[in-house]
Structure 1
Amino acid sequence: MERAAKKQAIEDLNVVFKDTGVAIVAHYSGLSVAQMQKLRMQMKQAGAAVKVSKNRLAKIALEGTDVVAIGSLLKGPTVIATSKDPVAAPKVAVEFAKTNEQFVILGGSMGKTVLDTNGVKALASLPSLDELRGKLVGLIVAPATKLAQLTNAPAGKLARVIQAHASKGEAA
């Protein structure tokens, strides 16, 4: 790699690390090209990205970012998964690791918080940002629905009482 290409790679990685909410580091030794493509596709669908870079260049690019703590994990053939949503990359990485034994999660960083393997798995078990938004909207809408049901209930009860008296009158 030429010096200019290395400099450009460092700048590109630095931009990625500054924009990310979470970064996950994993070993990928032994994965086939098809498996790596599958991982990239799953990450892309979840709104995350996967980067394979020289560890030395990645360590330089980490300087001055919130996720600088992952520098110590960059040893051997590593892949870095990043996403703005703090749950997207860990969720895909953990699911992918379940089906591919060669993909070993080493740890990661969520902002300045360092995550070990168990921390990444705990983060993956949380609901995504979209799921949380859906639950929040459901909670906001629920009181309005209950209020509408309560205001309609007396009229419905009155109609049933009148219907019952009318039925008694016809039967007699």
Structure 2
Amino acid sequence: MPEVHATIRAATPGDLPAVAAIYTHYVLGGVATFEETPPGLEDWRRRLDDLAGRALPFLVAELDGTVAGYAYAGPFRPKPAYRHTVEDSIYLAPGRTGRGLGRALMGPLLSGCARAGARQMVAVIADTGDPGSIALHEAFGFTRAGVLKEVGRKHGRWIDTVLMQRALTPTGD
């Protein structure tokens, strides 16, 4: 894999049109997300504000002056007992995959979540037949926690999800 020289930084409101465009590509043309309608800019502004209020990272990878990918971690589930567990999301712009951008985003995402007090990170990965997301998570110490069979239906097909998990801080109290 070629080495990438991206700038990884906190997302700003000005980045949100590019973030929305990247995500829209996956919503409309793929199964990496189970959303069927792309969120609008106001939805992305609320997400950015919500994560900032929780001190959780929302990062972008800037390459050649443009947003080439993004990553954030949000609450895994809404119930209070899950408050120390986050779920990651990493998306790369079409044509920007396979260059190490996912790796460049994952390290700072993990450390940012640990600084925010998260203890566990969960990845819920659509099993599309492309091993890239699973390999990325394994490279950062995630282990498989299970598979949920045929839990999503999109573009006329049933899709499994692979659950992966990684501790961010030592377990135990």
What TM-score does the superposition give when structure 1 sets the normalisation length?
A: 0.29
Which has the greater radius of gyration? Answer: 1
Richer in strand (by share): 2
Select the structure that is richer in helix. Answer: 1
